[in-house]
Structure 1
Amino acid sequence: MQITRTMAGQLPEKYMDQLESWIGTGPKIFTLLYKITKDGCNPATFHQKCANQGPTVTVLYNQQDSVYGGYVSAHWNSGGAWVQDANAFLFQLKYSGTDTFTKFPIRETTYALYGGKTYGPLFGMGHDLLTFLNTVNSSGGYFALKGQMKFGCYNNQDLSADQVNNGNMNVTELEVYRVTDGQRNRTPTQPWRKTPEWNEKFLEKLTEDIVSFKPSCEFGLSDVRILMLGPVGAGKSSFYNTINSVFKGRISQRAPCRIATHGITLAYTPYEVNVRSGATLNFRLCDTRGLEVTQGIDNFDCSYLLNGNIPDYYEFNPAPPPIIPDNPGFVHQPRVTEKIYCVVFVIDTATVGDIPPKLVKKINSFQRIVNRKGIPQAALLTKVDLACQDVAGKTSNVFTSKKIEAAVDKVSGLLGLPRNNILPVKNYENEMQLDDNISILSLLALRQLLHFAEDYIENLQVKMKALKLSSQRLAKSGLSEKSSDFIKE
């Protein structure tokens, strides 16, 4: 569905969809009639362009990034009288930068709209929404409309006018659209990250790719470990539960998930994932205590985790001292299967801008340790549904969402990682049954993490062959060299 316009309007398609739903009489085409930044803010021009045009939507945009207005099914006119309209309603679409869909239906239908020569759009006697009176000129990048908002004839839904227009009538734009029956031919939004079409076939392909993943046998690897690090409450445990749910075929919560000041996860836990037949997949998602500025995992812990020195189910102290080689259970000679082959930092998309600078610094210090070991890094952006209403309504909108794209850019800058290493996900949290779109997004992320681990293993193989060749050359020359485990530090 797409809008037909004679000039460019700024009402997004998603808001047209919402208005269409509220009007409730089928698909609608929105044609822009009047725009104060182009046509001027004066009653004469408004009536010239909008009178006798049938149903219309009036939309106001203010400096606080709120969007609100009114719909009438009757004609605007300049006859100086109130017009009855039982279908009229006021609405808000956005408040202070957040999409906020509220419909304010008409109560006193006799006073739905007023047609006056010196008035712009006027809704309700009293006045529920008086847009402007006489000519208003722009000053300082906005129009200080000579109007007001005061609920009376329209049901305020327990909101004050200030909770709709931020307590002022200063607007950056006012538009009036004619509303007619018909399908909009929507121009597809170009995704910022392309994927195959999301359907059952794609879900099956992702599942097969992950089930068939096998690490190189050259090192004796039965599975690879992926270490999850991130702030308390970011969704590390929930990501494991989501992946486990997909392969179990039902919602699963093996990893405990609750809200707590210092998080629920206390121990280093390498979780396996089993398919319904009971077979174990060839990777482990390793959960850890949440990162905090002054508590939890430190640089020594991080290094030991990467090397495989931390024993499974070791419970981290909330405060120093960290684990040391003298501690009981410390793994002095870890097996290759106990080492980490990919590190993923788990970040809450909805609060990415609120991470304390000291915590960012701590994460960056961990990254330097990971870099020195050559281990690949990525980031999971969780809770994308809380960061963007479009994604909350439909998970497959994630790669067309500008908000999620902005979050990817933000995390890419914070962690210094390429954008294709930033992987949005929505964990199962409120759902009682599986959703293909949620599963697809999670498996896309997991498959990429396994690809990173696979690339790392290939690099290790190349290094091992080079060391072996070097050793052979030295042996032929009569020299000797003490061999070393190329995986060890």
Structure 2
Amino acid sequence: MEVTPRLTWNEEKSLQKLLGNVSLRLLYKSSVHGNSFGTMLNKCSCQGSTILMVYLPNNVFGIFVLESYPEMSEHLKKPTTSFLLSFQKNKIMEMTAAFFNSTVDLIDNKLRFNFSQVQYVLLRSNTQNIFIPRLLGEKLGLTYDFKSQYTEYEVFRVEGMKDEPGYINRIAGATPHRDSLLAELRAYRPYADLVSEIRILLLGPVGSGKSSFFNSVKSIFRGHLTRQAIVGSDISSITEKYRIYSVKDEKDGKSLPFMLCDSMGLNEKDGVGLCVDDIPHILKGCMPDRYQFNPQKPITPKHPTFITSPSLNHRIHCVAYVFDINSIDNLSFQMLAKVKQVQKEVLKCGVSQVALLTKVNNCNGVLQDNFLQMSESMIYKSQVRDVNMMLGIPKSNILVVENYASEREMDPLQDILILSALKQMTRAADDFLEDLPLE
């Protein structure tokens, strides 16, 4: 008889995001196979990596174990790479995880996962209780000793898992680092409160990923994938209007203090794509939102919506040149000349510059394990060097991302690259504001 797991589709997808490209196979379900931990261990021993899911009214706890559960005849004291995770069932399902090594005790009707002498998870089969002490609970967002009755538990075999403790450590650390970046950007305020929000202008060839970057940023702060800006890969620009996009925070619905300004794509041919003569007006804040670009004619002060006296708030505070990282080596002489022409206008206005390289094929291999620096073995180092030489932008301001395109679910590692890029843009904008002459 086929047994249907209680684990929801969303919970399974969240686990797959955390663990990588894995599949989950149900081994044991207490409401069907019995509540005895001894029976469970006999059925689940020597099965490879497993995850025990414990279901409560408002939470779901999971304990992932990299190595196999030992057979009952063996000692259960061998430390194994593990981590504990928790789903909070609120409006947007959130998952937190904490990485440990653990040993397992089975005494009578008690199953205990020991993460240290004072940190453990205890389950009692006779009362169907789970207990988590405060020291461990704090890592899962709980501020008290947690004790509750569970309704049932399930054990899944994790198939397709890399059998490497270092890999587990990395993926378990990705979500907390992503959350730390989110908190930092939510708390961001422009330098000296000179403006209420900074404006970041996205410039680059057609199809480089400008609109997709905005969609990716918005998705992360919304907590789900969204595609407000129209994207495409046509040889002509999909974006035909100048757009000034605000980013709202899902937590409180308020706009965050940074705006992303999307422009028409650059084209190597004259009279096609973004008109270079529009650049100074954009940088100075004279171009209004939703202005319809004319590739052959720039905006003029006679235009009815032209902003004649822009404030510092209207100005661009950081320019991000966006390139498809896989096309850097194939930029034509004409396109490079067009980019240089645009950069000349940016330099005249003294606006800070960064470069954004999109469409990386493997975001997992871009960052070191601490998520703070690019990996020494990153395969895109030559492209970073080429952009550095081409535009004179410091390597620390050349940012590598993988935008969300065809994905249906979000990925913490992908989020880290996008948020790290946005964080560096805010720093560049602050440099511009700090460097303004005193009035």
Alignment TM-score, normalising by the size of structure 2: 0.57
Task: For residue 213 of structure 1, report the CA deviation from its aligned partner.
Answer: 1.1
Match of 1:286 in 2: 261
Asked if 1:305 corresponds to 2:282, the answer is: yes
In the alignment, the residues of structure 1 paired with residue 172 and residue 239 of structure 2 have an alpha-carbon distance, to the nearest angstrom, of: 36
Asked if 1:423 corresponds to 2:363, the answer is: no
1:198–1:437 Cα contact (<8 Å) kept:
no
Asked if 1:441 corresponds to 2:417, the answer is: yes
Distance 1:365 1:185, change over 3 A: same
* SS of alignment partner, residue 202 of structure 1: helix
Distance 1:187 1:210, change over 3 A: closer
Q: Which amino acid aligns with 2:289?
A: D
Task: For residue 296 of structure 1, report the CA deviation from its aligned partner.
Answer: 2.2
Q: Deviations over 1:24-72 (max 9, x none)?
A: xx9xxxxxxxxxxxxxxxxxxxxxxxxxxxxxxxxxxxxxxxxxxxxxx
Question: Which has more radius of gyration?
Answer: 1
Q: Which amino acid aligns with 1:237?
A: S
2:206–2:233 Cα contact (<8 Å) kept:
no
Task: For residue 228 of structure 1, report the CA deviation from its aligned partner.
Answer: 0.3
* SS of alignment partner, residue 232 of structure 1: coil
Match of 1:241 in 2: 215
Distance 1:304 1:240, change over 3 A: same
Gaps of 5+ in 1: 1-25, 27-182, 189-194, 386-390, 468-489
Asked if 1:270 corresponds to 2:247, the answer is: no
Match of 1:457 in 2: 433
CA RMSD of aligned residues (A): 2.7
Asked if 1:358 corresponds to 2:358, the answer is: no
In the alignment, the residues of structure 2 paired with residue 241 and residue 198 of structure 1 have an alpha-carbon distance, to the nearest angstrom, of: 25
Distance 1:338 1:197, change over 3 A: farther
Task: For residue 332 of structure 1, report the CA deviation from its aligned partner.
Answer: 0.9
Q: Which amino acid aligns with 1:287?
A: D
2:355–2:397 Cα contact (<8 Å) kept:
yes
In the alignment, the residues of structure 1 paired with residue 279 and residue 306 of structure 2 have an alpha-carbon distance, to the nearest angstrom, of: 14
Task: For residue 210 of structure 1, report the CA deviation from its aligned partner.
Answer: 0.7
1:198–1:440 Cα contact (<8 Å) kept:
no
Q: Which amino acid aligns with 1:223?
A: E
In the alignment, the residues of structure 1 paired with residue 243 and residue 377 of structure 2 have an alpha-carbon distance, to the nearest angstrom, of: 34
In the alignment, the residues of structure 2 paired with residue 225 and residue 243 of structure 1 have an alpha-carbon distance, to the nearest angstrom, of: 14
In the alignment, the residues of structure 2 paired with residue 240 and residue 421 of structure 1 have an alpha-carbon distance, to the nearest angstrom, of: 18
Q: Which amino acid aligns with 1:308?
A: G
2:264–2:273 Cα contact (<8 Å) kept:
yes
Asked if 1:342 corresponds to 2:318, the answer is: yes
1:229–1:343 Cα contact (<8 Å) kept:
yes
Q: Deviations over 1:464-485 (max 9, x none)?
A: 1xx4xxxxxxxxxxxxxxxxxx
Task: For residue 376 of structure 1, report the CA deviation from its aligned partner.
Answer: 0.6
In the alignment, the residues of structure 1 paired with residue 189 and residue 202 of structure 2 have an alpha-carbon distance, to the nearest angstrom, of: 20
In the alignment, the residues of structure 1 paired with residue 330 and residue 338 of structure 2 have an alpha-carbon distance, to the nearest angstrom, of: 15
Asked if 1:320 corresponds to 2:293, the answer is: no
Higher relative contact order (CA 8 A, sep 6+): 2
1:232–1:262 Cα contact (<8 Å) kept:
yes
Q: Deviations over 1:423-447 (max 9, x none)?
A: 0000011211110000001000000
Q: Deviations over 1:332-379 (max 9, x none)?
A: 111221100000000000111111111111111211221122111000
Aligned length, in residue pairs = 269
Distance 1:374 1:392, change over 3 A: closer
Task: For residue 450 of structure 1, report the CA deviation from its aligned partner.
Answer: 0.2
In the alignment, the residues of structure 2 paired with residue 338 and residue 437 of structure 1 have an alpha-carbon distance, to the nearest angstrom, of: 33
Match of 2:225 in 1: 251
1:244–1:252 Cα contact (<8 Å) kept:
yes
Distance 1:447 1:323, change over 3 A: same
Match of 2:206 in 1: 232
Task: For residue 238 of structure 1, report the CA deviation from its aligned partner.
Answer: 0.4
1:57-456 correspondence runs (5 A): 199-216=174-191, 219=194, 221-276=195-250, 277-293=252-268, 294=270, 295-317=272-294, 319-385=295-361, 391=362, 396=367, 399-456=375-432
In the alignment, the residues of structure 2 paired with residue 197 and residue 215 of structure 1 have an alpha-carbon distance, to the nearest angstrom, of: 32
* SS of alignment partner, residue 413 of structure 2: helix
Task: For residue 198 of structure 1, report the CA deviation from its aligned partner.
Answer: 5.0
* Misfit runs of 4+, over 4 Å: 183-188, 195-198, 392-398
